[in-house]
Structure 1
Amino acid sequence: MILEIIATHIRDVKAACEYGADRIELCVGMKEEGFTPSFGLIESALEIATVPINVIIRSHSQSFFYEPAEVDTMVRDIRMVRKLGTNGIVIGALTEDGRVDVEVMKRLLNEAEELDVTFHRASDFSRNLEETLEVLTQFKQVKRILTAGGRKPATESVPTIKRLMELAENTHLNIMPGYGLRVETFKEFYDDIRPTEIHFGSGVREDNSFMKQIEQKKVEKIKQMFK
């Protein structure tokens, strides 16, 4: 089981590594569904991290639709994180009518080269999750889809997540549940779907808030459930 934890600043990176994260998603602006961190934060995080770091690439937080100039910005950001030596990127793009934007994905993945790639929760804002999964099967660089099974917390969408996991079984894609997970209810959720990767954000923090610090006891409790 891989436990991925969101880090929004350098203290988060340090704590996530020390407390047992297997991978970090580096992301800022969580109140706005997240966007690309600064060069300085990425470079500093890479200097101290002891686990792989995947950086979110999102040029604005208004939607998951991007105009050409915004795509250019993301291409440059991917080039930057690749040169810095980042493990991977977290990306996603939709058309205005909620389909996977195939052309934008091609441009981003062309720049990504061998980076580890996650398609982020743009999936949950797409017009149809099963359609999104099917389209993403054409992109062998995309290793996983981060999803809550819709716009509600993942614990409220178990049947949908199970269905996506079934559909992904014979593909190269992995389904990584995330969003709204809480330590108090995680054991039942985990036992029900048995994912191989899991994504935690606010749920490993004091008061389940991105405004607070990552709690060691919460991370350790989650890791214990995997055993």
Structure 2
Amino acid sequence: MKKIEIACFNLESALIAQNSGADRVELCANMSVGGTTPTVEIIQQARENLTIDLYVMIRPRGGNFIYSGAEFEQMKSEIEAIKKLGVNGFVFGILKDDNTINIEQNKVLVELANPFPCTFHRAFDAISDYEKAVEDVISCGFSTILTSGTFPNVMEGKEVLKQLVKQANNRIEIMPGGGLRSTNVLELNEVVSANWFHSSAITDGSEIASPEEIVQLKKKLQS
């Protein structure tokens, strides 16, 4: 059974995602910078209203994925606080100055998040040696990599995504995301053969997910 995660930047989208058949919500703030850590209040409201799984992004700011000591401490304290809110998982990713995986810092956060699963987000798409990066992310203890295949969008990156799924060999989920829509998910699924797919399902330039788009994504993944 193919599953869909919807990136939600507000409570309204999270509720639309659930009501339209999404399997999981990735909750973030600040869509304009690609997502940051949402407020405790929004997380609490989402948890009270959702029965599907709720993953929360841990990202102190937009921009690159190389963090200062203070930012790293902030990420640690956010995970500790959010763990108590009944979430189901976390989404984050830290790189080194040379855009390789920061194994040491990621491991600390994964261990802090335990027993909740962690997704390594699209910081992965900033790396150059994706074969080594997959092994590094696995070694940190992540359960999923969210990636467009190191290209700007999933359709450009589909051949790399196919390779990543093959290399992962069920040791970690490769979840295609980045420009994923109901118009291309069928073709992408045929090429990549992943189990999970990720989309904001926003089709109108707003910050609100489209219920019709989520329904179509689910329908095409089941066909």
- TM exceeding 0.5: yes
Other-structure match for 1:225: 220
Aligned 1:80-95 pairs, distance under 5 A? 80-95=81-96
Residue 39 of structure 1 is matched in structure 2 by 40
1:219 maps to a residue whose letter is I
- CA contact under 8 A between 1:6 and 1:25: conserved in structure 2? yes
Where does residue 119 of structure 1 map in the other structure?
120
Is the 8 Å Cα contact of residues 147 and 178 (structure 1) preserved in structure 2?
yes
1:206 aligns with 2:207: no
Percent identity, please: 30
Partner of 1:215 in structure 2? 210
Q: Gapped runs of 5+ residues in structure 1? A: none
Match of residue 52 from structure 2? 51
> Aligned runs of 1:65-214 on 2, under 5 Å?
65-140=66-141, 142-169=142-169, 172-201=171-200, 204-207=201-204, 209=205, 211-214=206-209
Q: Any unmatched runs of 5+ in structure 2? A: none
Q: CA offsets, 1:65-104, max 9 Å, x none? A: 0111111000010011101111000010000111111121
2:153 and 2:178 in contact (8 A); partners too: yes
Shift in Å, 1:151: 3.4
What letter matches 1:102 in structure 2? I
Report the residue type matching 2:124 in the other structure. S
Question: TM-score of the superposition, structure 2-length normalised?
Answer: 0.95
How many residues are paired up? 221
1:212 to 1:64, Cα distance in 2 relative to 1, 3 A: closer
What is the TM-score of this pair, normalised by structure 1?
0.93
**Corresponding position of 2:24:** 23
**CA separation in 2, counterparts of 1:54 and 1:189?**
24
Give the C-alpha shift of residue 137 in structure 1: 2.1
CA distance in 1 between counterparts of 2:134 and 2:38 reads: 27
Q: What is the identity, as a one-letter code, of the residue corresponding to 2:219?
A: Q
- The one-letter amino acid paired with 2:36 is F
Higher relative contact order (CA 8 A, sep 6+): 2
Q: 2:210, 2:61 → 1: CA distance?
A: 29
The answer on whether the counterparts of 2:3 and 2:218 sit within 8 Å (CA) in structure 1 is: no
Within the alignment, does 1:64 sit opposite 2:65 as a pair? Answer: yes
Contact 1:146 1:175 in 2 (8 A): yes
Conservation of the 8 A alpha-carbon contact between 1:177 and 1:198: yes
Q: Match of 1:13, SS?
A: helix
Instruction: Provide the alpha-carbon RMSD of the alignment.
Output: 1.2
